[in-house]
Amino acid sequence: MFLHSVNLWNLAFYVFMVFLATLGLWDVFFGFEENKCSMSYMFEYPEYQKIELPKKLTKRYPAYELYLYGEGSYAEEHKILPLTGIPVLFLPGNAGSYKQVRSIGSIALRKAEDIDFKYHFDFFSVNFNEELVALYGGSLQKQTKFVHECIKAILKLYKGQEFPPTSVAIIGHSMGGLVARALLTLKNFKQDLINLLVTQATPHVAPVMPLDRFITEFYMTVNNYWILNARHINLTTLSVAGGFRDYQVRSGLTFLPTLSHHTSALSVVTSAVPKTWVSTDHLSIVWCKQLQLTTIRAFFDLIDADTKQITQKSKKKLSVLNHHFIRHPAKQFEENPSIISDLTGTSMWVPVKVSRWSYVAYNESDKIYFAFPLANHRKVYTHAYCQSTMLDTNSWIFGCINSTSMCFFKRASETKVALCLYRYFQSLTLRLQDYPSLSHIVVYVPSVHGSKFVVDCEFFKKEARSIQLPVTHLFSFGLSSRKAIINTSGRYYNIELLNLGQIYQAFKVNVVSKCTGGKEEITSIYKLHIPWSYEDSLTIAQVPSSVDISLKLHVAQPENDSHVALLKMYTSSDCQYEVTIKTSFPQILGQVVRFHGGALPAYVVSSILLAYGGQLYSLLSTGFCLEYGTMLDKEAKPYKVDPFVIMIKFLLGYKWFKELWDAVLLPELDAIVLTSQSMCFPLVSLILFLFGTCTAYWSGLLSSASVQLLSSLWLALKRPAELPKDVKVMSPDLPVLTVVFLIISWTTCGALAILLSYLYYVFKVVHLQASLTTFKNNQPVNPKHSRRSEKKSNHHKDSAIQNPRLSANDAEDSLRMHSTVINLLTWVVLLSMPSLIYWSKNLRYYFKLNPDPCKPLAFLLIPAIAVLGNTHTVSIKSSKLLKTASQFPLPLAVGVIAFGSSHLYRVPCFVIIPLVFHSLCNFM
């Protein structure tokens, strides 16, 4: 019956929208590189020693615990307190386990063994009972206060030490990182208790799914505090994102606010971290060996040799983090590196005067210094570039002043040394005009035995190695492309990707390499460099080859930023490279889903509300209720919603309208929130509305089919009575049942009461469907007659009867209306489920959910559902409120998009209003 109400063209449209949505979802969940993280293993059995906390604290937080991680002999030694190491506290995230500390804790222990425990770290972990804090924000404040108590308890374990720590370092995964930032908002918290904060895949900007107001309020409190007090916050903070593999927390949410007066915060994507160069998913970021090794190296470099604790110097902490996570110079970190290196001795010195030079070393017995005089090169070239495969050599290139026997060793920050790829080669690019005092560049080749490596150097003009390649238009749909051909004789090229800066742009870059000459294996590396954020990525290719590179952004280009995205190509000589770029439509859909997929429920509910209003109006105007699918096609139109939202956003730009808006205490428009995050694009709302209408259609089909199936099962088990002869809105058991549901909501969990009332409503509808089926099966075949004329003739009679009789046609009308209401209520129940799941999981600790985001909703929704479960269209046709009830869904559909797309917890509030008016139609 449901499918018959939709014509074939509309059905084809809905199928097509499913296809487009599938393309977007595929790009989000599967359109990324394979997992290249190495697993971190424990060499000894991991042990978790529970730290005894004061009884007063355990009574206040019965579900939370504090543990000390250890392995083997280390774990045995530290069962007897006090401790002697450097405290690090690990905070798990949403549904995270305290045992996730084992990866980084084990690697730190192995590193400490390598240096004979000159320094070592003690890793603590908090057990948050795997709470779903990303879905229910009511416990975030509680977790924050418990962590504060844990920090104080940890520091007490170091009493009697020569240099007892006065602060701890914190590593926070997912929501654990946000809890760590929230510590600073506590009234009695001292900022000095934290010396370093590292967050992994933490959504700092906004919640992934704002399903209750407590999460949103918590975010507002934390972010407002950090922004308003940025000048006074000296806490060095590093935020690490997982990249496109992490589809649970998109990397754009992990970037800390970049303020001119807050320079102690760094944000980076794992694919851009030197010696890591991989994308991680939301869980593997905790155990990814490459990343954990980088983190531990940084931690050991942060140790102050005098106090044997993490340094208190902010500049050093930032310098170490930059060294390991931003620009690694392929050498160990030195706080004060020597700038003079004595290169005298018996080593061989070889002058090199050519502009392009290559050297292959194998079984060299003598050290060799290759000196490049710069006097002549400065007149012709602007840059010098060198690359080396000597991975075991830290210092391999020097700058000399007027002498080849005494050289200034140039530091990484001065020469812009970068470890291009740890497994393949080190590279350096030097702009000659930045070093006017240098007379020579010297490349050092050590004596080697049995190993082969290659050193290449060249001088070039920047203009000759830079190629501008504009990206294709967003709406070219991959039908057109832009191409650049490089007949290379050099080692390094820059492709400037013009007009790339929006998150909705997505491209497929194809690099085809063709080489002539030798048959030996040649490696080329292509690096996408995004200058306004640390989200670079590398692609390695063996030439000749054809390689596809995905090009899309985590963070949009700031308005005041004029940098250009680059494709840096570390090429091979005597090869030709053809670079082709074209728009990738599936990846554009993936970006829409990635950045706005969380708003889809708001658009679904908006479409259902429009269809619901159309059904109420058809009941008012014609006396019968049209099919849900027909009304969805007729009423769910983008032009009924989007223009109003755009108009309101435009008017809010005027001061008088903004003052009027604030005077009536209206919340901030969600479109303005998206604009502040560089996520507002006019067509996105249209695309989401179409996706929402499509989802509303298929969810309606599913709910209708479910009612049919359940009624069939009911008939198989028990044959129900025939259609009720009298329509009674208030059955004897209705007040009692309503009170019971309200008591359940008050004493336990509001979402539980909503679910029970929803099941009661579904039961009533299934019973009605089964009764109608029984009635039709028992009726003889009647001649055809006009149903519409029958409805019209009975319309006036029904209003005069106090308890009208329910006919088969009235029952069908009622079922059509109930089907739409079930569809609406299903989304309300789904949006309230997180708090129910949280409550059920913590039932052994708390019988009553507090705070409860669904309790106010339940007290309004339960009576309305109870009345609607006994409502039939025949009883509301003559209601004076029916006209008002039919007019409400349209403005409410606009309100859902305006205020609920970024605040999903508001969506059920817009659903309650028409349902309450619908239920009141039975009495007025």
Whole-structure pTM value: 0.89
891 by Cβ neighbours in 10 Å (0-12 / 13-18 / 19+) ranks as middle
* Per-residue pLDDT, 258: 63
Average pLDDT taken over every residue of the chain: 85
Judged against a pLDDT cut of 80, whether residue 45 lies above it is answered with yes
Identify the residue with better confidence: 99 or 771.
99
* Per-residue pLDDT, 818: 87
Judged against a pLDDT cut of 80, whether residue 685 lies above it is answered with yes
Angle value at C-alpha 453, between 447 and 455, nearest 5 degrees: 95
Judged against a pLDDT cut of 80, whether residue 777 lies above it is answered with no
Reduce the secondary structure of 736-798 to three states and give it as a string.
HHHHHHHHHHHHCCHHHHHHHHHHHHHHHHHHHHHHHHHHHHHCCCCCCCCHHHHHHHHHHHH
Give the best-scoring range by mean pLDDT among 480-489, 567-576, 688-697: 688-697
Tell me: the pLDDT tens digits for 142-151?
999 999 999 9
Q: Which structure tokens are listed for 178?
A: 């946000």
HSE-up of residue 794 (Cα within 13 Å, Cβ side):
19
Q: What are the Cα distances from residue 906, in Å, to 186, 460, 902?
A: 28, 60, 9
411 by Cβ neighbours in 10 Å (0-12 / 13-18 / 19+) ranks as middle
Catalytic option among 167, 174, 618, 886:
174
Instruction: Please give the helix or strand (H or E) that residue 622 lies within, else none.
Output: helix 600-622
Question: What percent of the chain clears pLDDT 70, i.e. is strictly above it?
Answer: 88
For 499-514, what is the mean pLDDT?
92
HSE-up of residue 425 (Cα within 13 Å, Cβ side):
21
Question: Which SS3 state, helix, strand or coil, does residue 150 take?
Answer: helix
How far apart (Å, rounded) are the C-alpha atoms in residues 802 and 794? 14
DSSP state, residue 411: P
Band of pLDDT at residue 306, cut at 50, 70 and 90:
confident
Judged against a pLDDT cut of 50, whether residue 180 lies above it is answered with yes
How far apart (Å, rounded) are the C-alpha atoms in residues 642 and 631? 19
Judged against a pLDDT cut of 60, whether residue 859 lies above it is answered with yes
Tell me: the pLDDT tens digits for 540-587?
888 888 999 999 999 999 888 889 999 999 888 778 899 999 999 999
Judged against a pLDDT cut of 80, whether residue 596 lies above it is answered with yes
User: Would you say 282 and 246 are in contact if contact means Cβ atoms under 8 Å apart?
Assistant: yes
Its sign, for the CA torsion 784, 787, 793, 796, is positive
* Per-residue pLDDT, 409: 46
Its sign, for the CA torsion 821, 825, 826, 831, is positive
Q: Which structure tokens are listed for 733?
A: 């058991």
Q: Identify the CA nearest to 46 among candidates 17, 69, 25, 76.
A: 69
**Region of poorest pLDDT, from 98-107, 401-410, 429-438, 768-777:** 401-410
- The one-letter code for the residue type at 366 is D
Residue 8: what are its φ and ψ, rounded to 5°?
Answer: -65, -35
For 42-55, what is the mean pLDDT?
90
Characterize 355-394 residue by residue with b for buried, 16 or more Cβ atoms within 10 angstroms of its Cβ, and e for exposed: bebebebeebeeebbbbbebeebeeebbbbbbbbbbbebe
User: Would you say 570 and 495 are in contact if contact means Cβ atoms under 8 Å apart?
Assistant: no
Residue 418: what are its φ and ψ, rounded to 5°?
Answer: -135, 135
How far apart (Å, rounded) are the C-alpha atoms in residues 374 and 351? 11
* Per-residue pLDDT, 84: 87
Q: Given its phi and psi angles, is residue 454 left (phi above 0), alpha (psi -120 to 50 degrees) or beta?
A: beta
* 341 given a catalytic annotation: no
* Per-residue pLDDT, 811: 78
User: Would you say 612 and 824 are in contact if contact means Cβ atoms under 8 Å apart?
Assistant: yes
Judged against a pLDDT cut of 90, whether residue 3 lies above it is answered with no
Give the best-scoring range by mean pLDDT among 169-178, 431-440, 724-733, 807-816: 169-178
Tell me: the pLDDT tens digits for 657-677?
888 988 988 888 888 888 877
Residue 596: what are its φ and ψ, rounded to 5°?
Answer: -130, 5
| Alpha-carbon radius of gyration of the chain | 34
Tell me: the pLDDT tens digits for 24-41?
999 999 988 888 899 988
How far apart (Å, rounded) are the C-alpha atoms in residues 46 and 887? 64
For 135-155, what is the mean pLDDT?
94
How far apart (Å, rounded) are the C-alpha atoms in residues 699 and 704? 9
Q: Position of tokens 């589809």?
A: 247
For 127-137, what is the mean pLDDT?
91
**What spatial distance separates the first Cα and last Cα of the chain, rounded to whole Å?**
32
How far apart (Å, rounded) are the C-alpha atoms in residues 899 and 905? 10
Q: Identify the CA nearest to 585 among candidates 628, 552, 563, 624.
A: 552
**Region of poorest pLDDT, from 230-234, 730-734, 783-787:** 783-787
